[in-house]
Structure 1
Amino acid sequence: MVAITLAPEYGYTIAASVFSTVVVTVLAIKVGSYRKVAGVPLPNMYADDAEAKKDKKKMIFNCKQRVHQNTLEGFSSYLLSLMIAGISYPKASAGLGLVWCLGRMAYSYGYTSGDPNKRSMGAFGHIGELGLLGLNAKIAYDLIMSA
């Protein structure tokens, strides 16, 4: 059995998780606040494609909704990777978490600019995800080899 001892630096990892949650929450607020502006009533998740082609506000709403949904699709695996990596590498995981957050923010900014192709502005955020996966793989390897 392995005992897990958290270093005081694990606080950085927790801070990164809090910041990540704030980023996701801000994306949700942007969707909710723009819904009325775009005239997309609940319970519709998106504006109809034909409407979005005619009305730029509806298209931007769809982009805001897609940014939020895309972020949520990977959030649980990102957060789990962050928290596990932080056990052994608290500062590195926090730094990679910050990269992920900044990438999500840039992705949102580009995607919701009115030109969805600008979403690639946030592609650097994948460095955070891949880095966390690498740290998790290292931890798994170390644990297996010590068995």
Structure 2
Amino acid sequence: MTIAGTLIIPSDFGYVGLAAAGTLIYYTALGFSVNGARKKYRVPPPDMGSGIYASKLDEKDWVAFNNVMRSHLNLSEQLPSYLTLLLIGGLHYPRAAAGAGALFTTGRIIYARGYIGSGPEGRRAGAMISMASIASLLGMTIWGSAKLVGLV
């Protein structure tokens, strides 16, 4: 059964757009740090840290280069889920979703700084913050969607 309807976007949804834009600006900035690491360690594309150029690095430089790469790639892996939950959850609870989006970006900044500066152990605090944000966005999306279809 199909019911035609109108999608009403709350006026506060602009905050969600700002949260998404902030995350994407940070993602771009983190990409520039990858470019800087490529130049510093002389690892050109398409080498992602395990190719012929990276294999010529000493262990310390190889680890440092890969810490930068992994911090960026992990954010790349998280973005589709995060943005989907942010946008859908934001239709139901725009201010709360925008706050969770700001928390996600803050967590990702802490994650990258920790990973780049201290290796995999340094990412823990940022990972916990960003995952808490994802969990809250998932809750907003599920609860708001369940309300929309009359399940709750």
In the other structure, the counterpart of 1:93 is 97
Q: Deviations over 1:107-142 (max 9, x none)?
A: 000000143211102021111100000000102211
Q: List gaps (5 residues or longer) in structure 2.
A: none
Where in structure 2 are the equivalents of 1:1-147 lying within 5 Å? 1=3, 2-47=5-50, 54-122=58-126, 123-145=128-150
Q: Which piece of structure 1 moves more, 88-97 or 54-63?
A: 54-63
Please tell me whether the aligned partners of residues 16 and 87 of structure 2 are also in contact (alpha carbons under 8 angstroms). Answer: yes
**Shift, 1:77, TM fit:** 1.3
Report the more deviating stretch, 103-112 or 113-122. Answer: 113-122
TM-score, with structure 2 as normaliser? 0.87
Mapped partners of 2:96, 2:70: distance in 1: 29
Measured in 2, the distance between the counterparts of 1:47 and 1:28 equals 18
TM-score by length of 1: 0.90
Q: What CA RMSD, in Å, does the superposition of the two structures yield over aligned residues?
A: 2.0
Residues 27 and 68 of structure 1 are in contact (CA less than 8 Å); yes or no, is this contact kept in structure 2? yes
Could you report, residue by residue, the CA deviation over 1:36-81 in whole angstroms, capped at 9, with x for unpaired residues? 10121222111468656x3423311111111111111120111011
In the alignment, residue 34 of structure 1 is paired with which amino acid? A
In the comparison of the two structures, how many residue pairs are matched?
A: 146
3-state DSSP class of the match of 2:8?
Answer: coil
Structure 1 SS opposite 2:112: helix
Structure 1 segments unaligned to the other structure (5+ residues): none
Identity %: 30
Q: Which runs of 4+ in 1 moved over 3 A?
A: 47-52
